[in-house]
Amino acid sequence: MIETERVYVGLGSNLSEPIKQLGEALCALQKLPNTRLVAVSSFYASDPLGPPEQPRYVNAVAALATTMPPLGLLDALQDIERNQGRERKAERWGPRTLDLDILLFGDRLLNEARLKVPHYHLHARAFVLYPLAELAPASLRLPDGRRLTDLLAACPFNGLEKLDSVSVDNR
């Protein structure tokens, strides 16, 4: 029997109506095979990490229960990104319609060419940690032993704005 694993996925957008983009992505996540959308964090606005001349991002985290293998889920997430107009360019951290990142995949440590889990910058990104903390148990330890509470304490809320009453009608 294939075991269901809890997976946390980071969502981000700063082009083409970001709140709508995240809503459509959540709808698409609900349609993934062998996967259930368990919970979604609040939406947050954040400053871009890359080039300064781009709009602010809207970010959230989704919790999934899935039996999909990690690279199969990664492929499915990249299909969702492409279907929503994502174009992968050489420039990192540039503007995008949608970014879906696997943050945690159960208790797995993965170091594949295409996938690093826990996500390699999770510890330094307030726009990931604070939404993740809304969904994850307070006692959450990452597979590498780090505690979520310790990561939060080392990563200030600066630059984040929790968006009030975002309605995601697409879910």
For residue 93, is pLDDT > 80?
Answer: no
Q: Are strands 116-117 and 110-111 parallel, antiparallel or unpaired?
A: antiparallel
The pLDDT of 132-141, averaged and rounded, is 92
**Is residue 137 classed exposed, middle or buried when 0-12, 13-18 and 19+ CB atoms within 10 A define those classes?**
exposed
For residue 87, is pLDDT > 50?
Answer: yes
d(CA 74, CA 64): 13
- pLDDT at residue 88, as a whole number: 65
Cβ contact 156:73 at 8 Å: no
| Residue keyed to tokens 């993934």 | 32
Query: pLDDT by residue (tens digit) across 30-70?
Result: 999 999 999 999 999 999 887 778 899 999 999 999 999 99
Residue ranges and CATH numbers for the domains of the chain are: 5-162 (3.30.70.560)
Higher pLDDT pick, 50 / 166: 50
Query: pLDDT by residue (tens digit) across 61-78?
Result: 999 999 999 999 999 999
> What crossing angle do the helices spanning 70-83 and 18-30 adopt, rounded to 10°?
140
d(CA 16, CA 21): 7
Active-site residues, by number, are: 86, 96, 99, 101
User: Of 36, 13, 10, 31, which Cα lies nearest the Cα of 84?
Assistant: 13
d(CA 92, CA 2): 36
The pLDDT of 94-123, averaged and rounded, is 92
For residue 108, is pLDDT > 90?
Answer: yes
- pLDDT at residue 169, as a whole number: 44
Helix or strand run (H / E) with residue 150 = helix 148-153
Average pLDDT, the chain: 90
Cβ contact 41:141 at 8 Å: no
